[in-house]
Structures are given as structure tokens and as C-alpha cells.
């Protein structure tokens, strides 16, 4: 294991800058962390919205965008919404998460995963991650449930808090798929619905099947910093027609179709994606295969450039997966964690926009009191990850 044997070697930050510049281009040009690559039909489609006045909550591009998302991922249905957070909130409601329930998720995630849970009146419950994927560790989850959970009254209850466990939400960190077969097995054993937060993993596959398609429902994000963007946007993907229908209904104010009557049958949400955003999203889907190719190329170049740098490694896709390599991650060796901020300062100082990973959710004030297991891997990884510039146009496809 080269990585471990080198992990105590002190590296030189100048060497890191040199290796990164080798990949993204020399000189002193400012290189952002991630920018969208807008091309192809974007101008035509968006202009058509402007020219026809179909800019808002109705229009043909929304339906087309949903078809693109379903076709690309292989899901039977996709329902477009205003952003990935809204998609998560909707998905959690539709699998039956209710006020007071606990929702199992990694602590190392973007805050939206925990926030969407809170929007349901539910409580995040944090489980540790594994280093291979930086996502939920199925073995730790299984052992944790064996310790704290019991089947009671048709559900699974946390014996320590007395609360029902409503769902399990794995997240595919930086696009790298978690070990889904093992997770599905644990969820099935406990009768827990799985909602995949695939916000970062459009174009990532687990054993040949697109991420987001392993639970009852998965969600995607089309925010400006994701692999492709609709300006803002999200989608639910599912093979469950009925769930898709209900998703469409409650995200469009739960209005019953009628020529003129405003009849809403439940409390709905105004979560629909505007046609203007869907138009940009449709154009981006046409670019997606090329962008994914470029991103793999970029990831390979980083791996090569940092291969001989002691004390660091570049995160690679797990053996079972094909990752979209949304964001490249430099991992400092365990002995170097105390140097993270020094590295961030040095790279930013060299006009390379780099970022640490999110502060784990259990360290944020509003989620500090949430139930959790011991999170040693989460806490170690959170101190050692540095995301490198990862825009697709840093490695243009042929
Ligand atoms: C981006 C992201 C979201 C939310 O998506 P938005 O479209 O920004 O609301 C949710 N979860 C994760 C892990 C994300 O990275």
C-alpha cells in the first residue's frame, strides 16, 4: 500500500502546486473549482422560451427534460423540480417519512440531505462512512442497527430514542457510488425504504446500473456546480409509476386537473421546474456524454500527476463502480491532517480554487444533538480532503 507507507512523509506545498498546474495548465491563470460548460443547443432552446413567452411554470421543455433524465438514467420515470433539495424533501415525504421519524444518512454530506429531513419534521441519524467510497459503510450500518434497532408494530424503531426509523439516505460523495448491493441488503433486512441522494452522481454507475435507481426513489441535482446544470433544478427518478404521479402532483401545488377550477386536494408545494431552466437542462443533457468523458480524462491526469507525491493520494472510483468524477479529491495522509489549512492556503494563493470538504453534519449547531454512532472515519476524512479544480473544460474531449 504505497499510500499508507508514504503517509508519514512530509510533502512540500510547492510540489502540490506544481502537480496541480501540470494538470490544469501552467502560468498563473485563476482556475475555478467548477464551472458549467455551456454549449450546444443552449442558446437555441433558451431563446425559444424567450421568443414564445413560455418561460415559467408550464411548457414543453419540462416534459422533455423529464424524458431526458429518465432515458439517461434508465429509470421508468423522472419528475423535474426546482432544485435537488426540493427533490429530496419530496422523495422523503413519498416514502412515508413523518414528523418524529429518524432518517439514516452519512454525516459527511452537503447540508441539504439533513435539511430536507428536517423539512419533514424528522431527525437525521448519522452513520459512519468507508474510505473506499467516502459514503455510508454498509457493514457499520448493519452492526449499528443490530445494536440499536428492533422491529416493532410493522416498523423499525430505534430502541434508544423510541423513534421510528423512516428511511436510509446514502449519498454518492463527489460522484463515487457507495456499495449499493450491501446497503440494499441491510435496508431490505430491516424493511427500511432507501432514498438515494444522487445529487452529485449523474453519470455514475454501480455495477453497470445508474446510481439513484437502487432504492424506491433517487434524486438528482442540476445546480450550477453539478456535472450538468439547468441553472437550478432537481429531479426524482423512480421505477414506481404511482410514486412518480404523486411526486408530480404534490410538487405542482396538488391541483386537480380542470379547465378552470382551483381545486387542490392536499397541501402541495410549488416545487416545479420553470420551462426556462428545463430548456437549458435539455441542452446540457445533449452535452453530458462528452462532459463525462472529459471528466474521466481529467481524473486520470490528476492521478498521474500526484502518483509520486509523498503523503497524498487522489481519490479513485471504487472497483465496482464507474464514477462521473464530479469533483476530484486530494486526500492527505493520516499524518498530514494538521497541514490541511496550510495546503488550502498555498493552493488558493497560487490561484487554484480548492476547497475542503463539508464540515460533518454532527458538528453543525442545528444537528449536534442528533442521534449517531461513533464516526471515526467521517472525522478523519473530513480533515484530510481537498477538492481540486474539476471543470470538464480543463480536459476537453476530442
Ligand atoms: C447539490 C446537492 C444537493 C442539493 O441540490 P440543490 O440542487 O443545490 O438543492 C443535495 N445533496 C447533495 C449531496 C448535493 O451535493
List pLDDT tens digits, range 61-88. 999 999 999 999 999 999 999 999 999 9
pLDDT at 273: 97
Instruction: Give all strands (DSSP E) within 225-377, no chain letters.
Output: 234-238, 312-314, 321-322, 328-332, 355-356
- CB-count burial class (<10 Å; 0-12, 13-18, 19+) for 13: middle
Short-list 19, 11, 12, CA closest to 328: 19
- Tens of pLDDT, residues 110-144: 999 999 999 999 999 999 999 999 999 999 999 99
pLDDT at 5: 46
Between the CA of 222 and the centroid of ligand 1 the distance, in Å, is: 8
Per-position b or e across 74-88, b if 16+ CB within 10 A of its CB? ebebbbbbbbbbbbb
Closest residue by CA, ligand 1 atom 2:
199
CA dihedral 74, 217, 173, 133 (to 10 degrees): -80
Any atom of ligand 1 within 6 Å of the Cβ of 113: yes
40's grid cell: 450546444
- Tens of pLDDT, residues 357-369: 999 999 999 999 9
Give me the residue label for grid cell 448491493.
Answer: 181
42 three-class SS: helix
Any atom of ligand 1 within 6 Å of the Cβ of 179: no
Q: How many residues does the chain have?
A: 398
- Tens of pLDDT, residues 165-202: 999 999 999 999 999 999 999 999 999 999 999 999 99
Q: Is the distance from CB of 221 to CB of 197 less than 8 angstroms?
A: no
Short-list 236, 250, 245, 141, CA closest to 192: 141
Confidence grade of residue 14 (pLDDT, cut at 50, 70, 90): very high
Between the CA of 143 and the centroid of ligand 1 the distance, in Å, is: 28
- Tens of pLDDT, residues 292-325: 999 999 999 999 999 999 999 999 999 999 999 9
Between the CA of 220 and the centroid of ligand 1 the distance, in Å, is: 8
Give the C-alpha distances (Å, rounded to integers) separating 358 from 84, 109, 277, 382: 17, 7, 27, 7
Nearest atom in ligand 1 to 87's CA: 9
Q: What is the DSSP letter of 122?
A: -
Per-position b or e across 225-243, b if 16+ CB within 10 A of its CB? bbbbbbbbbbbbbbebeeb
Any atom of ligand 1 within 6 Å of the Cβ of 101: no
Helix (H), strand (E), coil (C) string for 301-335: HHHHHHCCCCCEEECCCCCCEECCCCCEEEEECHH
Q: Is the distance from CB of 212 to CB of 198 less than 8 angstroms?
A: yes
Give the C-alpha distances (Å, rounded to integers) separating 241 from 245, 258, 391: 6, 22, 35
Between the CA of 139 and the centroid of ligand 1 the distance, in Å, is: 26
Closest residue by CA, ligand 1 atom 14:
199
- CA 213/CA 77 separation, integer angstroms: 11
Between the CA of 138 and the centroid of ligand 1 the distance, in Å, is: 22
Cα first-last separation, the chain:
34
The DSSP element (H or E) to which 89 belongs, if any, is helix 84-94
Any atom of ligand 1 within 6 Å of the Cβ of 85: yes
136 three-class SS: strand
| pTM for the structure as a whole | 0.96
CA dihedral 209, 211, 214, 218 (to 10 degrees): -140
Amino acid at each position: 500500500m504505497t499510500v499508507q507507507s508514504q503517509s508519514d512523509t512530509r510533502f512540500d506545498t510547492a510540489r502540490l502546486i506544481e502537480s496541480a498546474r501540470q494538470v490544469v495548465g501552467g502560468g498563473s491563470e485563476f482556475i475555478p473549482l467548477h464551472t458549467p460548460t455551456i454549449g450546444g443547443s443552449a442558446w437555441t432552446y433558451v431563446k425559444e422560451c424567450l421568443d414564445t413567452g413560455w418561460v415559467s411554470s408550464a411548457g414543453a421543455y419540462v416534459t422533455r427534460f423529464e424524458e431526458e433524465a429518465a432515458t439517461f438514467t434508465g429509470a421508468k420515470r423522472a419528475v423535474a423540480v426546482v432544485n435537488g433539495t426540493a427533490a429530496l424533501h419530496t422523495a422523503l415525504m413519498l416514502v412515508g417519512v413523518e414528523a418524529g421519524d429518524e432518517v439514516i444518512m452519512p454525516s459527511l454530506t452537503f447540508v441539504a440531505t439533513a435539511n430536507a429531513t428536517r423539512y419533514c419534521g424528522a431527525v437525521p441519524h448519522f452513520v459512519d462512512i468507508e474510505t473506499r467510497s467516502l459514503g455510508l459503510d454498509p457493514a457499520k450500518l448493519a452492526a449499528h442497527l443490530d445494536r440499536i434497532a428492533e422491529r416493532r408494530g410493522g416498523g423499525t424503531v430505534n430502541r434508544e430514542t423510541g423513534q421510528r426509523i423512516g428511511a436510509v439516505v446514502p449519498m454518492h460523495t463527489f460522484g463515487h457510488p457507495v456499495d449499493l448491493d450491501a446497503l440494499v441488503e441491510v435496508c431490505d433486512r430491516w424493511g427500511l425504504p432507501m432514498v438515494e441522494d444522487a445529487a452529485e452522481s449523474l453519470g455514475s454507475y454501480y455495477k453497470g446500473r445508474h446510481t439513484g435507481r437502487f432504492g424506491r426513489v433517487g434524486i438528482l441535482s442540476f445546480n450550477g456546480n453539478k456535472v450538468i446544470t439547468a441553472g437550478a433544478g432537481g429531479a426524482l427518478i423512480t421505477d414506481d409509476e404511482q410514486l412518480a404521479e404523486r411526486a408530480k402532483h404534490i410538487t405542482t401545488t396538488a391541483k386537480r386537473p380542470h379547465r378552470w377550477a382551483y381545486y387542490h386536494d392536499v397541501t402541495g408545494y410549488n416545487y416545479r421546474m420553470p420551462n426556462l431552466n428545463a430548456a437549458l437542462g435539455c441542452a446540457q443533457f445533449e452535452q453530458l456524454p462528452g462532459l463525462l468523458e472529459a471528466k474521466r480524462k481529467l481524473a486520470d491526469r490528476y492521478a498521474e500527476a500526484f502518483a509520486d507525491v509523498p503523503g497524498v493520494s487522489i481519490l479513485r472510483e471504487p472497483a465496482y463502480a464507474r464514477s462521473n468524477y464530479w469533483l476530484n479529491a486530494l486526500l492527505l495522509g493520516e499524518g498530514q491532517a494538521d497541514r490541511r489549512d496550510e495546503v488550502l492556503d498555498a493552493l488558493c494563493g497560487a490561484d487554484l480554487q480548492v476547497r475542503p470538504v463539508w464540515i460533518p453534519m454532527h458538528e453543525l449547531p442545528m444537528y449536534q444533538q442528533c442521534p449517531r454512532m461513533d464516526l471515526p472515519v467521517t472525522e478523519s476524512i473530513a480533515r484530510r480532503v481537498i477538492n481540486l479544480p474539476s471543470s470538464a473544460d480543463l480536459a476537453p474531449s476530442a
